[in-house]
Amino acid sequence: MFETIAIVGATGAVGGIIRKLLQEREFPYKNIRFLASKRSAGTTIEFAGKSYTVEEMTPEAFQGIDLAIGSTPDPVAKEFVPWAKAAGCIVVDESGFWRMDPTVPLVIPEVNPEAAFTHQGLIASPNCSTTQMVQSLKPLHDAGRVRRVIVSTYQATSGAGVGGQRELVDASRAALDGADFTPETFSHSIAFNLIPQIGSHKHAGYTSEEMKMVFETRKILGDESIQVCPTCVRVPVSNCHSESILVETERKITVEEARELFAATPGLKVIDDVASGKYPMPKDCDGDDDTYIGRIREDLSCENGLAFWCVSDNLRKGAATNAVQIAELLVRNGAAV
Amino acid sequence: MFETIAIVGATGAVGGIIRKLLQEREFPYKNIRFLASKRSAGTTIEFAGKSYTVEEMTPEAFQGIDLAIGSTPDPVAKEFVPWAKAAGCIVVDESGFWRMDPTVPLVIPEVNPEAAFTHQGLIASPNCSTTQMVQSLKPLHDAGRVRRVIVSTYQATSGAGVGGQRELVDASRAALDGADFTPETFSHSIAFNLIPQIGSHKHAGYTSEEMKMVFETRKILGDESIQVCPTCVRVPVSNCHSESILVETERKITVEEARELFAATPGLKVIDDVASGKYPMPKDCDGDDDTYIGRIREDLSCENGLAFWCVSDNLRKGAATNAVQIAELLVRNGAAV
How many whole angstroms separate alpha carbon A137 and alpha carbon A114?
A: 18
In 3D space, the residue among A29, A26, A34, A28 whose CA is nearest the CA of residue A9 turns out to be A34
Question: What distance lies between CA B7 and its chain's CA centroid?
Answer: 16
Q: How do residues B103-136 score in pLDDT, each as one tens digit?
A: 999 999 999 999 999 999 999 999 999 999 999 9
Rg (CA), chain A: 20
Tell me the three state secondary structure of residue A200. coil
How far is the alpha carbon of A179 from chain B, nearest alpha carbon, in Å?
A: 14
| Cα separations in angstroms, B286 against A174, A175, A192, B295, B308 | 18, 15, 12, 19, 20
- Measure the CA–CA gap between A307 and B150, rounded to whole angstroms: 10
Residue B128 annotated to the active site: yes
CA distance to partner chain A, nearest, from residue B256 (Å): 12
Q: State the amino acid at position B120 in one-letter form.
A: Q
Backbone angles phi, psi at B34, to 5 degrees: -125, 120
* Strand-strand pairing, B2-8 and B67-70: parallel
Work out the mean pLDDT of chain B and round it to a whole number: 97
- Domain A2-127+319-332 belongs to what topology? Rossmann fold (3.40.50)
In the three-class reduction of DSSP (H, G, I as helix; E, B as strand; rest coil), residue B133 is classed as helix
Q: Which residues pair with B249 in a beta bridge?
A: B146
Query: What are the pLDDT tens digits along chain A (337 aa)?
Result: 999 999 999 998 899 999 999 999 999 999 999 999 999 999 999 999 999 999 999 999 999 999 999 999 999 999 999 999 999 999 999 999 999 999 999 999 999 999 999 999 999 999 999 999 999 999 999 999 999 999 999 999 999 988 999 999 999 999 999 999 999 999 999 999 999 999 999 999 999 999 999 999 999 999 999 999 999 999 999 999 999 999 999 999 999 999 999 999 999 999 999 999 999 999 999 999 999 999 999 999 999 999 999 999 999 999 999 999 999 999 998 754 4
Question: Cβ contacts (< 8 Å) between A259 and chain B: which residues?
Answer: none
Please report, for chain B, the start and end positions of each structural domain, with discontinuous segments joined by +.
2-126+319-332, 130-314
The H or E element containing residue A220 is helix A208-221
CA dihedral angle for residue B53, residue B56, residue B57, residue B61, rounded to 10 degrees = -70
- Going through chain B in order, the beta strands assigned E by DSSP cover 2-8, 29-36, 44-47, 50-53, 55-56, 67-70, 90-93, 122-124, 146-154, 201-203, 206-207, 227-231, 241-249, 268-270, 291-298, 305-312
Residue B224: the pLDDT is: 98
Euclidean distance between the first and the last CA atom of chain A, given in angstroms as a whole number: 7
Domains B2-126+319-332 and B130-314 share a fold: no
* B150: chain A residues, CB-CB within 8 Å: 150, 246, 301
> What Å distances lie between residue B24 and B8, B19, B195, CA to CA?
19, 9, 35
| Pairwise CB contact (< 8 Å): A196 & B238 | no
Work out the minimum CA distance from A77 to partner chain B, whole angstroms. 25
Catalytic residue list contains B310: no
Cβ atoms of B166 and B191 closer than 8 Å: no
Helix/strand/coil percentages in chain B, nearest 5 = 35, 25, 40
pLDDT surpasses 60 at B336: no
Q: Are B82 and B93 in contact (CB under 8 A)?
A: no
| Amino acid (1-letter code) at residue B166 | R
Q: Do B242 and A196 touch (CB under 8 A)?
A: yes
pLDDT in tens, B171-191: 999 999 999 999 999 999 999
What is the distance between the alpha carbons of residues B245 and B241, in angstroms, rounded to a whole number?
Answer: 13
CATH 3.30.360.10 fits A130-314, yes or no: yes
- Closest Cβ–Cβ partner in B197, B233, B297 for A205: B297
State residue A13's pLDDT score.
87
Structural class in CATH, domain B2-126+319-332: alpha beta
ipTM of the complex: 0.96
Contact, B163 vs B173, CB < 8 A?
Answer: no
CA angle A116-A121-A123, nearest 5°? 40
pLDDT at A70: 98
- Contacting residues of A for B305, CB less than 8 Å apart: 229
**Separation CA A126–CA A124 (nearest Å):** 6
Tens of pLDDT along B181-223? 999 999 999 999 999 999 999 999 999 999 999 999 999 999 9
Which chain B residue is nearest to residue A204, measuring alpha carbons?
Answer: B297
Express each pLDDT in B38-81 by its tens digit. Answer: 999 999 999 999 999 999 999 999 999 999 999 999 999 999 99
Q: What b/e readout covers B73-100, taking b as 16+ CB neighbours within 10 angstroms?
A: eeebbeebbebbbebebbbbbbbbbbbe
Supply the pLDDT for residue A333. 83
Contacts of A82 (CB under 8 A, 6+ apart): none
- 3-class SS at B14? helix
DSSP string across B224-269: TT-EEEEE--B-S-SS-EEEEEEEEESS---HHHHHHHHHTSTTEE
| pLDDT score recorded for residue A336 | 46
